Chains A and B, each alone.
Chain A
Amino acid sequence: DAGVTQSPTHLIKTRGQHVTLRCSPISGHKSVSWYQQVLGQGPQFIFQYYEKEERGRGNFPDRFSARQFPNYSSELNVNALLLGDSALYLCASSLTGTRFEQFFGPGTRLTVL
């Protein structure tokens, strides 16, 4: 079975630009969460979606937004990129929003110049 997939693998943007990151969950999983991992730190929670609805949001500015599609895939959008947005963006899927362990994808490495 395929695991969580994310695209693109790497991305380079300049300050002020916009970026869209994509995630496909494990088949049968209905919940997707997004995390940001800055170099040398543990991942930080950004969003959780379940059944296409936002179920939780971390302490991130409104420049960060996300959505989940009917096939349970998800997009993370970041507007007005800052140098500090450079990080590994991780997507994790779980069966439901509350009860099961989360399985992580390989991440998208975003570099903002």
Chain B
Amino acid sequence: DAKTTQPPSMDCAEGRAANLPCNHSTISGNEYVYWYRQIHSQGPQYIIHGLKNNETNEMASLIITEDRKSSTLILPHATLRDTAVYYCIVRVAMEYGNKLVFGAGTILRVKS
């Protein structure tokens, strides 16, 4: 299974952009990159996903390098409520389904 590597923690000032990096150098060509976040041991919350093109939605932007070995999640204007553990995930295809392979995650602390 492809695995992801993330920094254990990051700080960000409120109102500034938060850029969370992720390495997934062993990712296969048909495996998607997903980002989820988890607040206070609640269930993980879906943020965004992509295959090889950059993606943007109302929550965040996802930048994937051309070789697909790394990606960056961008929260454009971080707020205190964005403090959470952010997981960079590879969605791995199984014979009849798929599974999300989580890494250790990055603790993002947004400070006022």
Contact = CB atoms under 8 A, between A and B. Distances in A.
Interface size class of A (residues with CB under 8 A): 20 to 34
Contacts of B97: 31, 48, 50, 55-56, 97-98
Interface string B75-91: 00000000000010000
A42 to B, nearest CB: 3
Interface in A48-74: 48, 50, 53, 55-56, 58
Contacts of B95: 55-56
Contact of B96 (A4, A41, A50): A50
Interface string A73-102: 000000000000000101010000110011
B43 A105 contact: yes
A103 B49 CA distance: 13
Interface size class of B (residues with CB under 8 A): 20 to 34
Contacts of A4: 43
B99 A104 contact: no
Contacts of B42: 106-107
B87 A101 contact: no
Interface of A: 4, 31, 33, 35, 37, 41-45, 48, 50, 53, 55-56, 58, 88, 90, 92, 97-98, 101-107, 109
6 contacts: A35-B102, A42-B87, A45-B99, A55-B94, A98-B93, A107-B42
Q: Which 10 A-B pairs have the closest CB atoms?
A: A55-B97, A42-B102, A104-B43, A56-B94, A97-B97, A45-B99, A55-B96, A48-B97, A56-B97, A104-B44
